[in-house]
Structure 1
């Protein structure tokens, strides 16, 4: 019923958004008298904001056509190099990269948003590296016959992606995937896997949520796992390929994040309204672009979501040494030569200070010279991986860390 009610509301809002958009165009049309009255532009701006807020959104495109590297504008090539039911491996490169350029795998969150949320992260790192990214599928679009997908499968996907890219690959995990990426690194390290990461960078990741708990952590701890299963898990309706699959809907995840900072989101939309009234379309467009991405959401499988709540936020299985993959306990001591970089934002309200840094202490067999911690001052959760502070302050730290531990690949990755 939950999903069906949402679909009904979405259909109604979609119709209202279309009419609001038509109204905005009419009120701002210079050939009509409304456009010359004081009320017309104000009403048009209000309708435009409503239309934007209520409009339905699908999966965005990365749309990275060029990057500037070495003072030259380089054309970017995007390709799917590995296809899996629950996520593809994409590769981005340009002709300005040297033959020994590092290869970087960006592990995008499976947390309600598409991988395109990391467009700014990818574009910045593409200046100096061949970049691969996990493009996770929307669970409601995956047919039931594809099977289940849980934390074990997530880790298996990462191992398979690293095997495809080859030895010497660097890994960047943003937020939630820090945990499975850290686990995969330990599993591969313990087996001396030739494709284990050369470096693993974790940014704003919930490695140990007992450190500086945030409101997100509090919500996960206040209710038993059965509450989440009964209240936030829904069944995909018949209108989608994944009909019958149990999922945690993306629209619920978005509603939770919006509610956490409702005041700031309302002020952002009010600011967009003022820019439109004043005729500052460029500033309004920037706000629109952010919310176009932020409000594009997808579903995740119930198995993956519930296991994440249980093991990451409730039982703290990884830092306690109780995390199991395919029936075997994960030994973090297996990380012996993968250089670790932990990055946190001073104003992060999703992953508190210390949650990501814990990864450095837990890797007890890794020499200290292969560990690094960086606290980004005056930076919130989103600003860790997007925006001017990411591009000018944080990315150079990551690039330097990769350069210190980069080894030329024995053979080119496909």
Structure 2
């Protein structure tokens, strides 16, 4: 019922939105002599804000046509190389002639970026992709909005996610590398464990987990506490709704993206309100650059997708309530998942000091699970002064986190020993204790 009401609200606001668009266009027209007056700027700003708050936010474009490598532009073409109704594997193909001109003559490591399936599109990782394109052949998982998948395509659950990761790694050839950003951590570790146990040729050469809830019992955040305090039946009764017509997936039971978005925004409501007040002020002052930056961020942030009922509820149950993976109790298709069977897949964990989604220690827990992995194939990094988003995007990611990931991938690709000066994790046989960066308050 909530989904239907949400759609009804959108269509009910359409006349007002069209009126706001007409007002915005009138007061921004160069033919209007009063457009630059204080009244004109105010009317333009308020109508523009209203139109943006009530419009539909679809799947954003990647907007990655080229990247700069060694000071030279290199053309990039996103290409789908494998797909199912639930996901497509996108390869960001770099132009070979441009790469040669940029001094790149050797084959570079192939990296699969496992994008989160938690409400936002993979384009949220645009900055992550652009960084990795400097030194890698980049592939990314682009998950489908569940409301666009017809009922006849069947279910998609937590175990289907694991199967998809395994198949995409196989599509990339022998020993690719995988980077799991946030939510994919547990299913990616499960996939790597199964592939290692089967000695598959395409098992990863390294796996990097960034702000992932490998063990959500450690340093619980507000999100973790909510999942733990509410009974499973509460999520089933209050978070799942039917997709209404005219969507292709009409009748499918989903966890709507707008519900997830409302949860995210409520955690920092004051900041979002202040951001929109600043946006209104920038428009009235004629500060187009600042207004454009605001729009660029919210065009991405407000674009959300739905999750299938079974995937969402299984994730709540497996990852946030019963903690099956860290307890050694996760089973996949009748097989117990055994991270201790991993012996030759490098492990790097990255956490943010101020992460309010995955607390410090939750990602580090992967080291404790991979007991058979030699210590020289393990690394851990806690990035000071960043929150959850800053772990995989922004200035500190580009300048401090990405170089560590790049060097780790390169080392695992060539089987090089770990530099003595680098930060290390605890020995494979020891428990990894959550650590804080020097100078941080406890």
Q: TM-score range by the shorter chain?
A: over 0.9
Alignment-derived partner of residue 88 in structure 1: 88
Distance 1:55 1:63 in 2: 21
Partner SS, residue 60 of structure 2:
coil
Deviations 1:110-160 (A, max 9, x none): 111111111111111011111000010011111111110111110000000
Alignment-derived partner of residue 63 in structure 1: 63
Alignment-derived partner of residue 440 in structure 2: none
Gaps of 5+ in 1: 409-414
Distance 1:334 1:47 in 2: 59
Is 1:296–2:274 an aligned residue pair? no
Distance 2:190 2:411 in 1: 23
Distance 1:341 1:15 in 2: 52
Q: Is the 8 A contact 2:127 2:394 kept in 1?
A: yes
Alignment-derived partner of residue 341 in structure 1: 348
By how many angstroms is 1:251 displaced?
Answer: 0.8
Aligned ranges 1:311-322 → 2 under 5 Å: 311-322=318-329
Partner SS, residue 320 of structure 1:
coil
Alignment-derived partner of residue 74 in structure 2: 74
Distance 2:106 2:400 in 1: 26
Alignment-derived partner of residue 404 in structure 2: 397
Partner SS, residue 35 of structure 1:
coil
By how many angstroms is 1:212 displaced?
Answer: 0.8
Deviations 1:61-105 (A, max 9, x none): 112100001221010021110011100111012121544201000
Alignment-derived partner of residue 194 in structure 2: 187
- TM-score, normalised to structure 1's length? 0.96
Task: Report the more deviating stretch, 23-32 or 315-324.
Answer: 23-32
Distance 2:36 2:206 in 1: 60
- TM-score, normalised to structure 2's length? 0.90
* Higher RCO by CA contacts (8 Å cutoff, separation 6 or greater): 1
Is 1:325–2:332 an aligned residue pair? yes
Distance 1:166 1:109 in 2: 23
Alignment-derived partner of residue 247 in structure 2: 240
Alignment-derived partner of residue 145 in structure 2: 138
RMSD: 1.4
Alignment-derived partner of residue 128 in structure 2: 121
Deviations 1:258-281 (A, max 9, x none): 111111111111111121122111
Q: Is the 8 A contact 1:190 1:333 kept in 2?
A: no
Distance 1:398 1:17 in 2: 45
Partner SS, residue 207 of structure 2:
strand
Gaps of 5+ in 2: 416-442
Q: Is the 8 A contact 2:38 2:284 kept in 1?
A: no
By how many angstroms is 1:33 displaced?
Answer: 5.1
By how many angstroms is 1:42 displaced?
Answer: 2.1
By how many angstroms is 1:29 displaced?
Answer: 3.5
Distance 1:31 1:39 in 2: 16
Partner SS, residue 122 of structure 1:
helix
Distance 1:17 1:128 in 2: 45
Partner SS, residue 57 of structure 1:
coil
By how many angstroms is 1:26 displaced?
Answer: 2.0
Alignment-derived partner of residue 29 in structure 2: 29
